Amino acid sequence: MPQLTREEIINYLESDDKTEILFSLAREKRGQVFGDKIFLYGFVYFSTWCRNNCNFCYFRSDNKIDRYRKSKEEVLDIAVRLVDSGVNLIDLTMGEDTFYYDEDFETVISIIREIKKLGVPVMVSPGVVERKVIDCFAEAGADWYSIYQETYNRELFAKLRINQDFDKRMEGRKYARQKGMLIEDGILAGIGESAEDIAESLFLMGDAGAYQVRVMSFVPQNGTPMESVTTPDRNTEYKVIALMRLLYPNALIPASLDVDGIAGLKKRIEAGANVVTSIIPPGTGLMGVARSTMDVDEGGRTFKEVAAVLEEMGLKAVGREEYKNYIGGF
């Protein structure tokens, strides 16, 4: 059962008086459950084509940008590089690319099967898909189905995810759970939400059975309707990470390299995160989501660099078997 009341969550979010205490409690809680262990995820954003028009997203269909769709061989090459570097999981992410939606999910399913043969867990982040596609993901061995609600305030959701169905996203998550997959949910910070909205989202993510919960600060993207909205102070994101840790001590809670690159890692780990996401090999032409190119080709998002930062903090990147054992216990 959650250890914090709604009022306590709102107080932490609205006042900075107890922020350092909050972070320290969150670190203590992480230490009790995970010791000094941190998990690292590889990120393969294999298609930046998307049929949707989310107001916050660089890859929305109306944005006239260069896009790519990696071939199966390219995806597998990148996955092998990531696995060899030591990551605990491969996150296969795509926009809602009509190439797959209208004709060819079989390619994605075969990629999952091939990556599973490498002995590494797989997370699939494809957007909203039909039940029969989720069935195939589960049968192919995908461990996680990731789909972010962004907010549980329906009005705000409608402003962000234009013409998309709030309940369909929820149902997809629920169905994947029934099929035995683990689920990840996430919210955005700095998109006009109130402290009450955040508290509500935190409780509902847990109720839906998400074992991985995340928050990322909104970053304005060129060419989108929200390009002139200011990116929020990161303190809210850090506090939400800490609140998630206190509410859900056993959860996997990411520190994403996608918002502030490697420079933003330490603060998120200090707030109680225990997973580092968006590790991308340099020179692959892959993009991130919130900061599409930050630190990618400079090599700032590699396993080695993340592990070095963790070591400086007295923490350690753990091996794949340990990760598998952990998620096997969910």
Positions touching ligand SF4 (CB under 6 A) are 50, 52, 54, 57, 59-60, 95-96, 127
* Dihedral pair phi/psi, residue 295, rounded to 5°: 65, 5
Nearer to ligand SF4, 52 or 236 (CB): 52
Min dist CB 150 to ligand SF4, Å, is 8
Show the tokens assigned to 163. 């013409």
For 40-74, b where at least 16 C-beta lie within 10 A, e where not — what string? Answer: bbbbbbbbbbbebbbbbbbbbbebeeeeebbeeeb
Min dist CB 212 to ligand SF4, Å, is 18
Q: At CA 215, angle to CA 121 and CA 140, rounded to 5?
A: 20
Min dist CB 243 to ligand SF4, Å, is 24
Nearer to ligand SF4, 226 or 255 (CB): 226
Residue 157 identity (one-letter amino acid): F
Show the tokens assigned to 324. 């598998």
Distance CA 324, CA 40 (A): 12
* Dihedral pair phi/psi, residue 146, rounded to 5°: -115, 125
Angle, to 10 degrees, between the axis of helix 131-140 and the axis of helix 105-116? 20
Nearer to ligand SF4, 95 or 172 (CB): 95
Cβ 185 vs Cβ 173: under 8 Å: yes
Distance CA 327, CA 330 (A): 5
Cβ 169 vs Cβ 145: under 8 Å: no
Pairing mode of beta strands 89-94, 316-317: unpaired
Nearer to ligand SF4, 95 or 264 (CB): 95
Nearer to ligand SF4, 57 or 252 (CB): 57
Nearer to ligand SF4, 86 or 127 (CB): 127
Nearer to ligand SF4, 224 or 274 (CB): 224
- What kind and span of H or E run contains 104? none
Residue 31 identity (one-letter amino acid): G
Min dist CB 56 to ligand SF4, Å, is 7
Min dist CB 225 to ligand SF4, Å, is 12
Min dist CB 127 to ligand SF4, Å, is 5
Cβ 323 vs Cβ 88: under 8 Å: yes
Nearer to ligand SF4, 29 or 214 (CB): 214
Residue 36 identity (one-letter amino acid): D
Min dist CB 187 to ligand SF4, Å, is 13
Burial of 293 (0-12, 13-18, 19+ CB in 10 A): exposed
Min dist CB 252 to ligand SF4, Å, is 21
Nearer to ligand SF4, 13 or 50 (CB): 50
Min dist CB 149 to ligand SF4, Å, is 12
Distance CA 7, CA 24 (A): 20
